[in-house]
A and B are shown apart, each in its own frame.
Chain A
């Protein structure tokens, strides 16, 4: 079963989709999915929508929202920052608390690209409210490259920030860049002590594989982390085999985490 839902974050309406498995009516495990830069809640070529369907088969529900300023949600893209993304994630987690048939001890977080960067930073802040974290090609490259005056392939003057930069036709605002210059993505992600899955393609040109590896080396312990390498894949898991590896590895991880008994 899926149905459209809304929640409020920063005074703005976020619009999303809720999936609940048909064969469960209570204590449902649930995943919150966070889309990428200039993305939407279905994600490119419906990766999130497909994952939600697969998870439903495993008895796991999900919510997928458009972030503020993105997709169907209210707000302006130019006002979005990593801080607003994190605030949205926390408000979505609060919204999930109002779902009475969801097992609140069994809520998981997943983010793709910029959504992965944001989810990784949000996770330690709400670690007692999460059971696991999944990152697809987490985009620490965004906050690392701003120091060289580069964002998502767009060059800018970091000593004299423009009002906005042109990210594929959308205006990414100065406030985003200002804030990103102060964020150490790896440092800020530390402190989450639950199981983590990272999936990253070796031929990712948008977020090079090395940026994913640094989460393994600098942020998470070997005990908590499962790192899945998709050999040959780009950022978008662009052939059916890569897509299947991504979705199957994620479904397996989350459904096993959903069944894990906490001591």
Chain B
């Protein structure tokens, strides 16, 4: 069963969808998904929707929201920065924790692209409250690109910036670069200490594969990387899509909380 939901942060309504399995359990392990830059809660070619439908069948609840300024949520896209998304994510986490059917000890998070950075920051900051972290092609080059005036492959002159940047027709505020440049994704004394699962496209041109090695360096043996052959940032063929979705689904199906429920 899926239904529309909403929560409020700073006067803005964030709109989303939640999936609740139909298994007569009181509480379910739960996944929260964070979409990419200029994305929305269904994600490209319904990647998030497809994953959540599969998870529902194996007894996982899930929540997907549009960030402030994106999709159906309130607010203006040109006010969105990584920090507003992190604040949204905190609000969403509290909202999810307050739901009766959610097993609060089994809240997992997943983020795609910029949403992957948001999920990583959230996992580090709230590590006691989060059971696992999954990132799809995380935009881990955000701080570096922001410092150099680069956005989605477009290079701006950092000393002579226009009033706003362009994301395929959407205006991006200059604060986006400022917040991106100063973001500390992996604060030294506050690192997530549970399982981290990374899926990345071999030929991701926006976030070259080499960048995600930092997850392996930082999280060590708790981190596992799966590379999808030939895939771009958007996993644009049936094979690449399956590589992404099937590996992710296997990760969740392999968790103790799910294995226990299935048997």
Q: Which residues of A contact B (CB under 8 A)?
A: 2, 4, 15, 17, 38, 40, 42, 44-47, 49, 66, 70-72, 77, 166, 168-171, 236-240, 242-243
Contact = CB atoms under 8 A, between A and B. Distances in A.
Chain A at the B interface: mostly helix, strand, loop or mixed? mixed
Interface string B169-183: 111000000000000
Contacts of A66: 42
Interface residues of B, number: 29
A33 to B, nearest CB: 13
B2 interface: yes
A238 B152 CA distance: 13
Contacts of B164: 240
B71 A42 contact: yes
B38 A45 contact: yes
B146 interface: no
A166 B238 contact: yes
A49 B71 contact: yes
B213 interface: no
Nearest to B168: A238
Contacts of B167: 45
Q: Which 3 residue pairs across A and B have the least CB separation, nearest first?
A: A4-B4, A169-B241, A243-B169
Contacts of A77: 46
Interface in B228-263: 234-238, 240-241
A42 B240 CA distance: 25
Given A45-B168, A239-B169, A240-B171, A38 B45 contact: yes
B17 interface: yes
Contacts of A237: 169
A40 to B, nearest CB: 5
